[in-house]
Amino acid sequence: MTTATPLGDTTFFSLNMTTRGEDFLYKSSGAIVAAVVVVVIIIFTVVLILLKMYNRKMRTRRELEPKGPKPVAPSALGPNGNSSQQPATVTFSPVDVHVETR
């Protein structure tokens, strides 16, 4: 003769399993967060290294390319304003300084 398991015991057993599962999730949540942080740091590092390599490649390309005459940019101030074509010169003139001696 077989006996049926009471429904209350099965409910208690499944409830007990969910709390064990929740405990496992709570205990492993720190490891999950740490894994996500490590992955983000690795991705950030790879992107940084790729950008540095690209920057170095572009710099060497610019340095090795022949230097031609620079194109003259039109002035934004108009013909009457100070244009970028005329270099600004600063001249210092000596000033006679008279010091009174007592």
Output helix, strand, coil percentages for the chain, rounded to the nearest 5. Answer: 55, 0, 45
**What DSSP letter does each residue of 13-38 carry, written as one string?**
HHHHHHHHHHHHHHHHHHHHHHHHHH
Domain that holds residue 49: 31-65
- Counting the structural domains of the chain, the total is 1
The reply to whether 90 falls in a domain is: no
Which range has highest mean pLDDT (4-8, 42-46, 89-93, 95-99)?
Answer: 42-46
Is 41 domain-assigned? yes
pLDDT tens across 15-64, in order? 555 677 788 878 888 999 999 999 999 999 999 999 999 999 999 998 88
**Structure pTM?**
0.43
Q: What gap in Å lies between CA 30 and CA 24, rounded to an integer?
A: 11
Whether 50 maps to a domain, the answer reads yes
The string of pLDDT tens digits covering residues 3-20 is 555 555 455 445 555 677
The pLDDT assigned to 21 comes to: 78
Residue of 71, 53, 69 lying closest to 61 (CA atoms): 53
**Least confident window among 23-37, 58-72, 81-95:** 81-95
Residue 87 token pair: 């270099």
